[in-house]
Chains A and B, each alone.
Chain A
Amino acid sequence: MARYSAQVVIIGGGATGVGILRDLSLRGISSVLVEQGDLAHGTSSRFHGLLHSGARYAVKDPVSATECIEENKILKHIAPGCVDTTGGWFVQLPGDEVDYAEAWLKGCETAGIPVQEVPLREALQREPLLAKEAARVFEVPDAAVDGFKLVWENAKSARRYGGRYLTYHRVEAILREGEGVAGVRGENLLTGESFTVEAGIVVNATGAWADRLAASAGASLEVVRDKGILLAFNHRLFHRVINRLRPPGDGDIFVPHETITILGTTSEWVDTPLDNQPTGREVERMMALGKALLPAIAGKRVIRAFAGVRPLHRSDSELAGGSDGGMGREVSRTFALIDHEAEDGVKGFLSIVGGKFTTYRLMAEKVSDWVAAKLANDVPCRTATEPLQPELPAHLSRQAKVLLPCAAAGKMLQRLGQDAVPVLEAIARDPGKGELLCECEMVTVAEVEKIVADEDAHHLADVRRKTRLGMGTCQGAFCTYRALPLMWREGGKYDPLSEELVRFLNQRWKGIRPVLWGDQLRETELTRAIYAGLLALRESGTNGDGGTLCGMD
């Protein structure tokens, strides 16, 4: 049995959890983060990738709006490699309430969100696919943020300050000691071994799982699980975030995210965090809704659909003006920090729920302030000013461009940071390793080789989150089998490989199934020919290893 001890144990490896880990580590508080899967595998990567300017909340939720614009500025400063400063537009269409625009402009002004009206002619020239009948267009500092990258940068930064994280470790129980908590106990899912982390403070940052975890420690917490589905289009349809200028609703926001465009989202309460399978009906509805801003939507290729489950705190979800009541509650209406000592008499146990990706750092700061106060640590928070990633030396950029004239060298550097050094060395030694393994997202053999060997990568999906392998147009058709020999060389780490292959393909397939029409259907037929035909993967085990391709055969 593995034993760890620290002052604080954080449960949940999403943006909030790693944000807390980093903040505490910067304050010199020893912390361990425990995550049941890979970092950022849940809600923190299952969103539209929007770094809010706050403008979306300017009318209905001024507190959120103010928080968002503050955090928007901070993240652009501390994590420039994770943020694409695309800017965003709010577009009023004929039929949209005209008065709303005035209220919105006022709200933006109050919150301190800079707004500039864009002349219509210029707007249509800049975004040729935008609805021609747009009535007014306003520009705000919305941006796109990469959830995978940001979460990992936080984790890496935390590690530099002594923070530790355990992925694929599932917490089974919160250890109690008298009126307080004493740590957590659980299972290492990779080895089957059990583990404990001894800590006087337990932070519950498990998002959509938060109420269940709280209940296991005898604390009460109400979380609403709000499913939102998103569509990923094959390429950038717009250069900037496009919002509809009206009260926020379903399917009214397009975000250019890395190479793709994401259309979001919906809102439906579900029973379990695992309910993240988009359905054909939901996809149809999104396509119909998206048509208002993007009239040519029907001809645009959707490469996958996915869904995230937002954890909303019950008091968030009540009607506007609803009271928050209890002691220790309500950092703001947007997210809630619950001190279970005040609420339930469980000492040293804290839950953080609600909020949004854009404000993860603020949430982490509030949690860390609370923890620091408990531990009588008076080191101030530094996460708003200290960059996540140390700046890379300029010669590295030069070297990367020389070695990879035909690939996206800059993107690789942003993903890898310091890890780019051995990757570039490998390519310099053997130019063949500069060849692209994932062609759609231009990921080199050397990069995949490096990440496959990384101690934090345990499945091909982990490699995907770190490199973007398999996330492009072909959705893993070509890169999946190409990655296998590199995984095989890791001496059993990924065994059995055939299961890895099938698991990965099935994860891709899960998102493709609801969007099977047009070009993506053609693509899928090609994929099926490769795996079900050439590689003889069958529905039930005829490849000898029990490989299953759900519905692909």
Chain B
Amino acid sequence: MKGTWERMHTQIQSGEQDGPLTERTPEAVGDDSLQVETRGLTVEDSVHLDACVKCSICTAHCPVAQAYAPFPGPKSIGPDAERLRLEGVELDPGCLAYCTNCKTCEVVCPSGVRITDMILRARRRQGSTGTESAEGWLRIRDHILGRAEYLGRLGTVWPGLTNAVLAWKVTRRLLAKTIGISADAPLPEYKRRFFPKKGSAGNKVVYFPGCFVNYNDEATGLMVIKVLEHNGFEVVVPGFHCCGVPLTANGRFREAEGNARRNLALMEPYLEQGIPVLTSCTSCGLALKEDYPKVQVPVAKRIGVQTYDLFEYLWLLHERGELKEDFQPVGLSLAYHAPCHLKAQGIGTPSLRIFRLIPGVKVEELDAGCCGLSGSFGFKAEKYELSLQIGRHLFQRVRQGMREGNFRAVITECGGCQVQIRHGSGAQSLHPVWILAQAYGLAGKTE
């Protein structure tokens, strides 16, 4: 991996004009003074900025900063740069694009600073659409990678053909050469599109499947429904759109907000009846819990408190004595990887708690950091090696555990983590719902 400073730099290549050194004056930012004003902090932002005592714990824990020296870390491009941004000084968008939005910084911050929010806001303000990736073709790449939903729709029309074409070396080389999608990155295969059948009547829950279930892993989605139905629920799945996380990660903020509005409109009737929304993808879950409440529609204030991670909800049922616990012994030794966006939800590891209720399940928590993929970050040609570098501790732990016969599969909620763990360590990786399904006798033997 080349550790050059230059590679973060994008503005010059994208044709920025030489000009006088007046970046700090509002005039230099643009003629439209109201545009400049968007630098303004809300009262809440200002409190966060003041709370940072510069202890640098966030940077010490940042998976990217640990693996890539030129990236100065969340403190620097977050609260430090925020003071300069208020002065009108913007960092290169290419530098900000090294933040994978994993939120580890926010999890570890002892002062409660919303570091990633600051970074995302800065990216948004820079209108990063055109500038985060240097060349036009890479911008097309970001445009494409942000649209997991459209890609999924296309890919699931004839998944066999799509997968075959994407598997050709020549296709991948072409994609790498033209639009900078790494030829080696573990692009997930397309499956038949997730299309749940209407189930039996009961207490309703809404299931937000997310793009990974919708287009790459329908089996897991169907199993989530089976497990919930086994517990007597009627599972409603409106025709949701992508949650918006991939769009945000690729600098498409306005479209992400559009998706949030459309999804909220679909949820509205259920939210108003107090029906919970469940997610099996931790990134969708985090978006619903933390980003959707910021959307300016009345129903947004409900979504945050009515969204549950699947296992968080099941554990709640357990605590209420409402979970079906007719578990058959499952004699499996497993490893568990907690996705970053699960950690960011601040709910611990509910799937591990549920596993402890199942006789025979032995789980080793890997606790080896981020997998490095971060949605589409690891698919990008210039970031692919870095993404493997970030995940190297995890892969080493997995390979070692497999070699020593401690476990035979890695359980993790996040589809992206599953793909990356398979790619980086060769281990089988699947969603925790499969273990529960086996305990309920709903699935064939899981291997």
B18 and A394 contacting across the interface, CB-CB below 8 Å: yes
B21 and A401 contacting across the interface, CB-CB below 8 Å: no
* Other-chain residue from B11, B33, B50, B95 in contact with A300 (beta carbon distance below 8 A): B50
Q: Across the two chains, which residue of chain A brings its CB closest to B81?
A: A442
- By a CB distance below 8 angstroms, the chain B residues around A193 are none
Of residues 306 to 325 in A, which have CB atoms within 8 Å of B's CB atoms? none
- By a CB distance below 8 angstroms, the chain A residues around B84 are 259, 408, 411, 442
Q: Across the two chains, which residue of chain B brings its CB closest to A85?
A: B25
Known: A237-B46, A259-B86, A431-B70. A85 touches B54 (CB 8 A): no
A234 and B89 contacting across the interface, CB-CB below 8 Å: no
How far, in Å, is A259 (CB) from chain B's closest CB?
4
A126 and B40 contacting across the interface, CB-CB below 8 Å: yes
* Other-chain residue from A237, A258, A405 in contact with B5 (beta carbon distance below 8 A): A405
Docked pose: A125 CA to B111 CA in angstroms: 29
Instruction: Determine if A390 is an interface residue (Cβ-Cβ < 8 Å).
Output: no
Known: A392-B21, A477-B54. A401 touches B36 (CB 8 A): no
Instruction: Determine if A522 is an interface residue (Cβ-Cβ < 8 Å).
Output: yes
Of residues 55 to 103 in B, which have CB atoms within 8 Å of A's CB atoms? 55-56, 70-72, 75-77, 80-84, 86-87, 89, 91-92, 94-95
B89 and A473 contacting across the interface, CB-CB below 8 Å: no
Instruction: Determine if B255 is an interface residue (Cβ-Cβ < 8 Å).
Output: no
* Other-chain residue from B18, B25, B46 in contact with A129 (beta carbon distance below 8 A): B46
How far, in Å, is B317 (CB) from chain A's closest CB?
41
A405 and B9 contacting across the interface, CB-CB below 8 Å: yes
Docked pose: A301 CA to B4 CA in angstroms: 37
Instruction: Determine if A277 is an interface residue (Cβ-Cβ < 8 Å).
Output: no
Q: What string of 1s and 0s marks CB contacts (under 8 Å) between B20-62 and chain A?
A: 1111111100000110110111110011011111111000000
B25 and A411 contacting across the interface, CB-CB below 8 Å: no
Of residues 361 to 399 in A, which have CB atoms within 8 Å of B's CB atoms? 391-392, 394-395, 397-398
Instruction: Determine if B19 is an interface residue (Cβ-Cβ < 8 Å).
Output: yes
- By a CB distance below 8 angstroms, the chain A residues around B80 are 439-440, 442
Instruction: Determine if A128 is an interface residue (Cβ-Cβ < 8 Å).
Output: yes
* Other-chain residue from B22, B55, B83 in contact with A440 (beta carbon distance below 8 A): B83
* Other-chain residue from B10, B19, B43, B49 in contact with A235 (beta carbon distance below 8 A): B49
Of residues 341 to 370 in B, which have CB atoms within 8 Å of A's CB atoms? none
- By a CB distance below 8 angstroms, the chain A residues around B56 are 478
Instruction: Determine if B8 is an interface residue (Cβ-Cβ < 8 Å).
Output: yes
Instruction: Determine if B6 is an interface residue (Cβ-Cβ < 8 Å).
Output: yes
Q: Across the two chains, which residue of chain A brings its CB closest to B6?
A: A402
Known: A237-B46, A439-B75. A405 touches B91 (CB 8 A): yes
Known: A397-B18, A411-B89. A523 touches B53 (CB 8 A): yes
Instruction: Determine if B12 is an interface residue (Cβ-Cβ < 8 Å).
Output: yes
A395 and B18 contacting across the interface, CB-CB below 8 Å: yes
How far, in Å, is A395 (CB) from chain B's closest CB?
7
- By a CB distance below 8 angstroms, the chain A residues around B39 are 239
A407 and B91 contacting across the interface, CB-CB below 8 Å: yes
Of residues 495 to 514 in A, which have CB atoms within 8 Å of B's CB atoms? none
Known: A128-B40, A406-B71, A439-B76. A239 touches B50 (CB 8 A): no
A472 and B36 contacting across the interface, CB-CB below 8 Å: no
B20 and A405 contacting across the interface, CB-CB below 8 Å: no
How far, in Å, is B44 (CB) from chain A's closest CB?
10
Of A126, A402, A414, A526, most B-chain CB atoms within 10 Å: A402
Q: How large is the interface on A (under 10, 10 to 19, 20 to 34, 35 or more residues)?
A: 35 or more
Instruction: Determine if A436 is an interface residue (Cβ-Cβ < 8 Å).
Output: yes
Known: A126-B37, A405-B94, A410-B89. A391 touches B20 (CB 8 A): yes
* Other-chain residue from A236, A397, A401, A413 in contact with B83 (beta carbon distance below 8 A): A236
Docked pose: A435 CA to B51 CA in angstroms: 24
* Other-chain residue from A87, A128, A301 in contact with B50 (beta carbon distance below 8 A): A301
Q: Across the two chains, which residue of chain A brings its CB closest to B71?
A: A406
- By a CB distance below 8 angstroms, the chain B residues around A85 are 25-27
* Other-chain residue from B4, B41, B53 in contact with A474 (beta carbon distance below 8 A): B53
How far, in Å, is A390 (CB) from chain B's closest CB?
12
Q: What string of 1s and 0s marks CB contacts (under 8 Å) between A53-76 and chain B?
A: 000000000000000000000000
* Other-chain residue from B12, B43, B46 in contact with A398 (beta carbon distance below 8 A): B12
How far, in Å, is B434 (CB) from chain A's closest CB?
42
Known: A235-B82, A299-B47, A477-B54. A436 touches B21 (CB 8 A): no
* Other-chain residue from B20, B43, B55, B95 in contact with A80 (beta carbon distance below 8 A): B20
Q: Across the two chains, which residue of chain B brings its CB closest to A473?
A: B54
- By a CB distance below 8 angstroms, the chain B residues around A260 are 83
Q: What string of 1s and 0s marks CB contacts (under 8 Å) between B106-131 and chain A?
A: 00000100000000000000000000
- By a CB distance below 8 angstroms, the chain A residues around B92 are 401, 405-406
Of B19, B26, B27, B80, most A-chain CB atoms within 10 Å: B80
> A residues near B, CB below 8 A?
80-81, 84-87, 125-129, 234-237, 239, 256, 258-260, 296, 299-301, 391-392, 394-395, 397-398, 401-408, 410-411, 413-414, 431, 434-436, 439-440, 442, 472-474, 477-478, 518-519, 522-523, 526
Pairs A–B under 8 Å by Cβ, sample size 26: A80-B20, A85-B27, A86-B26, A125-B34, A126-B33, A126-B34, A129-B41, A234-B50, A299-B50, A300-B50, A403-B6, A405-B92, A405-B94, A406-B76, A411-B23, A431-B3, A431-B70, A436-B72, A440-B54, A440-B83, A478-B56, A518-B50, A519-B50, A519-B53, A522-B111, A523-B53
By Cβ-Cβ distance, the 4 closest A-B pairs, closest first, are: A394-B18, A405-B92, A301-B50, A236-B86
> B residues near A, CB below 8 A?
3-6, 8-12, 18-27, 33-34, 36-37, 39-43, 46-47, 49-56, 70-72, 75-77, 80-84, 86-87, 89, 91-92, 94-95, 111
